Structure 1
Amino acid sequence: MVYIQNILIKDSPSFSSLSLELCNGLNVISGASGAGKSVFFQSLLSLFGLKECNASVIEGRIEGEVDLQEYMDEDEVVIQILKKDKTRYVINHQSTSKKRLNEIFTPYLKFLTHKNSNELQSPFLIGVLDSLIENENHKKNLQDFRGEFERLQELKKTLTTLKEEQKNLAELKEFALFEIERIERVNPKVGEYEELLEFKKCLSKREKLQTLANEALNALEGMGSVGSFLESVEIKVEGFESALLEVRAVIESECEKLEELEGSNPEEILDRLSTLNSLISRYGGIEEALERLQEQKQKLKGYESIDEDFSSLLLQIQSSEEILERVGKNLSKEREKALPLLREQIQSYAKLLLLGGVRVEMREGEVSERGSDEIVLSLGDSQVETLSSGEYNRLRLAILAVENKSDGGILLLDEIDANLSGEESEGVAKVLKKLSSSYQVFAISHQPHLPSYADRHFLVKKGEEKSEMILLDREGRVKEIARMISGSTLTPEALEFANKKLQI
């Protein structure tokens, strides 16, 4: 069970310093109006990011298994809120934010205030009904239905995408064919652009190179006399003749290349370079253009198979809906059997809370992950949305009492018995006492019944400057309950009533 073990508050509007040990049952706070009960409650709510911080320091130690997600998991959970120039939020010595604090602890908290809950909505009520069904097949059907429902949602999402693609299919096909034809028409080769640039460079220098080559060959002819002279003076230069032969071979080879350029058309080369350059500018390179070509060919194949995929998908959706209908009927049968028990339990707690005419009906609604069943609550002729805050919250208590989770977490109630009659207030107290076996309950009360059932009763007393909050012993509880009945003058009748209430 998750609960607050203790809380420390410093420099709040009502308290200079407050340190309280709390119990994991029913904690009731009472005191005269304006003493600081609501100020304490705001500090308590701010510990979980539900309200703005109203003190310089608020620190709470939380017991129980809490999923801290990205924060360090230790033996205990310590939440700190430090307010100076700005407000800092800390979980186990790691900084966080108010929003993140709220997100982490929301699963462990219920704050009964205005009509801000889901307990009276159909999904929650269906969950409560399912918890009353002990049939193992029902649990398996629930699991199967949820899995198939999620699959159907994915199939429908894919169908929506396909429909959008079908709308634009002609345009998509036309564009893919256009890009394929444009690239294939050019038929580019990797490295071709660089080769043509080099070829263009050579072509532009062809005449000059031819002239220089002829001059070089003529010069080599004259080198024959140099050889004759050296031979005449009997001087031998090592490698002279072989060097001349090698140079001649190189020049003649280059001349052959120049002759090959003779038949080239410069305009064709320039046109080809321009075409390739346009492709490179569009796609970033020849390799990228060829990759785009393959990508568009694959897309075109996909577009051509969309109609086939569409038909297959429709069949899968039909099959999934048939499965959901079959499993959903089994869920509905079991729920119909258990509905009288749910109705009986809700009405039993409603009667205790003086809520007459509670109706619990099940009907077919929209399909969700829990099936197509929908539970509707009403109070007499009034729908849930039109109930007063008092009726709404008492009906919530009745549902929570039926749910009766083994580990409900923390339940916070701000003056839940305000404006109720004595009998109504006592009904609320009895239900909260039951809920305190699975929830740690915090409740502010101005009536004597709720404090009578408290596991710990705290009194907020206003001093000259600041208030104090103390844990009452039995004698203190008797006096405080008597004060709630008779005011500041404690009458014998009020004290006797308080004594009897605490003996129950």
Structure 2
Amino acid sequence: MIERFYLKDYLSFKKVELNTAGGLIVFSGPSGSGKSILMKAILSSFGVESCEASLCESSVNWHLEMDDFGIENEEINIFKQIKREKARYFINNQSLSKKAISNLSFSYLRHLSLKDYSDFEDANLLSILDSRIKKNSKEIENLKKSYKDSFLMHSQVRAELDNIEEEEKRIVELKEFATFEINKIQEINPKPAEDEELLRIKKDLSKKEKLQESIAKASAIFESENFVSSTLNLLDNNSSSFDDAMNELRAIFDSAEARFNELDDVDIEEVLNRIEEISWLKKRYGSIEEALEYKEQKVLELQRYENIEINKEELTKQEISLKKKIESLAEAISGLREAQIDKFEKDLNRYLKELYLRDAQVTLSRCTLNLNGQDKIEIKLNSTELQKVSTGEFNRLRLAILALKSEFMHKNGGVLMLDEIDANLSGEESMSVAKVLRQLSKHFQIFVISHQPQLTSMGEQHFFIYKEDDESKVKELSFNERVDEIARIISGESISVEAKNFAKELLEVSRCAEQERKR
């Protein structure tokens, strides 16, 4: 959950610090006080929105998947947006893009503001249906695991077959090309590092005559070798260093001469032609080593082309077997789902009735086999497609789906952000929304803006947003302050005794609901 939020310099807000608890958190206050601005700032710290605040910072206790970014999880992870010349985003003081920040927070935070249809996607609805089936039968878990493993294997085999069938269409061309490439490299038949040896031979040949002439002139030094050595001895100087130097020089000249003798049998034209062949090979493949490696790859490809019919036959048998298996498993899963779908619809409509909505029609039909089986779920509200229902009805239907999902949740569901979900609702409708949100708050931390006394009274934590000298401020309200705020919402700035009494009644209902929830 979000444990702390800090805001600095955003429109009418100078500085705000919220220490938030779990459960249902309500923001209320007069129109124009900055409630929506504050919620936008919270969302901005997670990269979900953008704002011009100099600082938005949220401290959360989520365990994030950050290995790809080289960021370590802390006991409390801190999301931060800083705006100077431009907005920058951080987690635990390490800079990330807005998109990366948003993706990391996506699994933990949802902003239920616009018509987001993700709650009505097959994967989500089937997951809810399956969790209800699991309550009475563990069989579905085993079936789904076996189905998923077989489906993924079948997809892999099918992809390999598709590749083979595509290759078959141009197998002659592929074989000819592979054979051509192999023959071309084999014709040249390069040896590792041969290019370096050839360049050395070419260099030696180009200098051979000049070097032999120079060595012949330099060899005259050996004619005076004995005379120099004797003179050194007469001078009582040790001649061994001179003798060693002369021997080393003689060895160098002898080695060079032996090398020149070897070059006598070398055909310079053949060397140049060979250099040209190797040069072409390197231009085409990068290096001799890469050319030889490429040849081996083509040899293996050619072998595979030769065996393609055998591979295809084996894969076809495997594909048929896996197809039968996943179809059988899908049928078994569908049977369990069909047996539960009426109860699913009934329980959904129970929530819709609480929310003063018309009945929904839930249909389970077949579709192309996919990772979730062969089923799809469609929901209509009083026979009206979801795309055509009002925003208010759509959002309350989403709450019903979330409530249905939360019945079998075993872990915290994250954070829900709702902006005036009870706008334009009657008092009864607003109370129904409040009760469902209170139930969801067992599994979610919920931030909601409300102008209705019913939902406001149900909050487990209540923040009042107000303006003082044109500056927006936030205050967490005590019980008596909540009475006054809810009474203001009921009767306006001139708070009546009746409004206060009604506010106390609402808060007492909320208190009783909380006690009942904890039992």
Letter in 2 for 1:102: S
Give the direction of change, closer, same or farther, for the CA distance of 1:364–1:184 in structure 2 (3 Å limit): same
Structure 1: distance between partners of 2:73 and 2:348: 39
Question: Within 2, Cα distance between the matches of 1:45 and 1:197?
Answer: 69
Structure 2 matches for 1:143-222, cutoff 5 A? 143-184=145-186
What SS does the aligned partner of 1:119 have?
helix
- Alignment match of 2:327 (pick from 325, 328, 333): 325
Is 1:91 matched up with 2:91? yes
- Structure 2 length normalisation: TM-score? 0.79
1:358 aligns with 2:360: yes
Q: Is the 8 A contact 1:49 1:101 kept in 2?
A: yes
Query: Does 2:496 correspond to 1:469?
Result: no
Aligned Cα root-mean-square deviation (Å): 3.1
Contact 1:26/1:455 (<8 A) preserved: yes
Q: Which residue of 2 aligns with 1:438?
A: 443
Read off the aligned partner of 1:72 and give its amino acid letter.
E
Alpha-carbon shift at residue 160 of structure 1 (Å): 3.0
The match for 2:51 is 53
- State the shift of 1:192 in Å: 8.7
For the residue of structure 2 that corresponds to 1:147, the secondary structure is: helix
Bigger drift between 401-410 and 87-96 goes to 87-96
Q: Which of residues 367, 374, 391 is equivalent to 2:393?
A: 391
- 1:133 and 2:153 matched: no
How many angstroms does 1:109 deviate by? Answer: 1.1
Of 501, 504, 514, 1:499 maps to: 504
Checking the alignment, whether the CA contact within 8 Å between 2:33 and 2:465 is kept in structure 1 is yes
Describe the superposition over 1:438-495 as per-residue Cα deviations: whole angstroms up to 9, x where unpaired.
Answer: 1111000111110111101211112222021111222222222222222222233322
Counterparts of 2:333 and 2:116, CA distance in 1: 29
Does the Cα contact within 8 Å between 1:188 and 1:276 map onto a contact in 2? Answer: no
Superposed displacement of residue 287, structure 1 = 6.6
Would you say the 8 A contact 1:353–1:428 is kept in 2?
Answer: yes
C-alpha distance in structure 2 between counterparts of 1:195 and 1:68, whole Å: 53
Matched AA of 2:281: Y
Aligned partners of 2:181 and 2:363: how far apart in 1?
A: 62
- Contact 1:186–1:275 (CA<8 Å) still a contact in 2? no
- Corresponding residue for 2:454? 449
State the alpha-carbon separation in 1 of the partners of residues 485 and 300 from structure 2: 81
Return the offset for 1:126. Answer: 0.1
Q: Which moved more, 1:342-351 or 1:481-490?
A: 481-490
SS of 2:57's equivalent in the other structure is strand
The 3-state SS of whatever aligns with 2:499 is: helix
Matched, 1:75 2:91: no
Q: Which amino acid aligns with 2:322?
A: S
Q: Secondary structure at the match of 2:107?
A: helix
Q: Whole-Å Cα distance in 2 between the matches of residues 276 and 297 of structure 1?
A: 24
Alpha-carbon distance in 2 for matches of 1:190, 1:492: 99
Give the direction of change, closer, same or farther, for the CA distance of 1:307–1:277 in structure 2 (3 Å limit).
farther
Whole-Å separation in 1 of the counterparts to 2:199 and 2:112: 80
Is 1:301 equivalent to 2:298 in the alignment?
A: no
Match of 1:421 among 420, 426, 441: 426
Aligned partner of residue 377 in structure 1, secondary structure: strand
Measured at CA, do residues 158 and 465 of structure 1 come closer, stay the same or move farther in structure 2, by a change above 3 Å?
same
Q: Which amino acid aligns with 2:312?
A: F
Q: Which moved more, 1:436-445 or 1:140-149?
A: 140-149
Partners of 1:58 and 1:290 in 2: CA distance? 58
Q: Does 1:10 align with 2:11?
A: no
> Which residue identity lines up with residue 29 of structure 2 in the other structure?
G
Alpha-carbon distance in 2 for matches of 1:72, 1:139: 33
> For 1:23 and 1:131, how far apart are their aligned partners in 2?
29
Q: C-alpha distance in 1, partners of 2:57/2:198?
A: 75
**d(CA) in 2 for partners of 1:356, 1:182:** 76
Write the distance in 1 (CA, Å) between the matches of 2:503 and 2:53: 35
Cα shift at 1:72: 2.0
Letter in 1 for 2:77: V
Cα displacement (A) at 1:394: 0.7
Letter in 1 for 2:443: S
How far, CA to CA, are the matches of 1:123 and 1:140 in structure 2?
A: 18
Code of the residue aligned with 1:324 in structure 2: it is I
- Distance, in Å, in 1 between the alignment partners of 2:44 and 2:200 is 73
Distance 1:195 1:9 in 2: 72
* Aligned partner letter, 2:85: D
| Kept in 2: contact 1:280–1:289 (CA 8 A) | no
Map Cα deviations across residues 151-208 of structure 1 (whole Å, 9 max, x no partner): 2222233233323322332211112222344455566678999689969999xx99xx
Task: Kindly state the Cα deviation for residue 418 of structure 1 after the two structures are TM-superposed.
Answer: 1.0
SS for the counterpart of 2:7 is: strand
Q: Which consecutive residues of structure 2, in runs of 5 or more, have no partner in the other structure?
A: 213-253, 510-519
Residues 134-166 of structure 1 show CA distances to partners (whole Å, capped at 9, x for unaligned) of 222211111111122222222233233323322
- The correspondence of residues 228-307 of structure 1 with structure 2, limited to 5 A, is 270=269, 276-284=274-282, 292-307=294-309
Contact 1:6-1:20 within 8 A present in 2 as well: yes
Q: Which amino acid aligns with 2:140?
A: H
Q: 1:367 to 1:286 in 2, by over 3 A?
A: closer
Distance 2:338 2:469 in 1: 62
Is the contact between residue 48 and residue 101 of structure 1 (CA under 8 Å) also seen in structure 2?
yes
Mapped to 2, the partners of 1:11 and 1:292 lie a distance apart of 62
Alignment partners' CA distance in 2, 1:190 and 1:47: 58
Residues 432 and 190 (structure 1), Cα distance of their counterparts in 2 relative to 1, 3 Å cut: closer
Kindly provide the CA deviation profile for residues 7-43 of structure 1, in whole angstroms up to 9, marking residues without a partner as x. 1111111211111221201111111111100110111
Q: Is contact 1:42–1:54 with CA below 8 Å preserved after alignment?
A: no
d(CA) in 2 for partners of 1:435, 1:289: 64
Q: Aligned to 1:408, which of 410, 413, 421?
A: 413
SS in 1 for 2:102: helix
Give the total of aligned pairs.
449
TM alignment of 1:34-49, pairs within 5 A: 34-49=32-47
Contact 2:3 2:61 in 1 (8 A): yes
Which structure has the greater CA radius of gyration? 1
Match in the other structure for 1:343:
345
Contact 2:354 2:432 in 1 (8 A): yes
Matching residue's letter, 1:494 = A
Indicate the residue corresponding to 2:238 in structure 1. none
Partner Cα distance (2:105, 2:49) in 1: 13
The answer for the alignment partner of 2:221 in structure 1 is none
Give the structure 1 partner of residue 17 of structure 2.
19
Structure 1 residue identity aligned to 2:155: Q
1:63-90 residue CA offsets vs partner (Å, 9 max, x unmatched): 3544444322222222232222232322
CA contact (8 A) 1:482 1:490 kept: yes
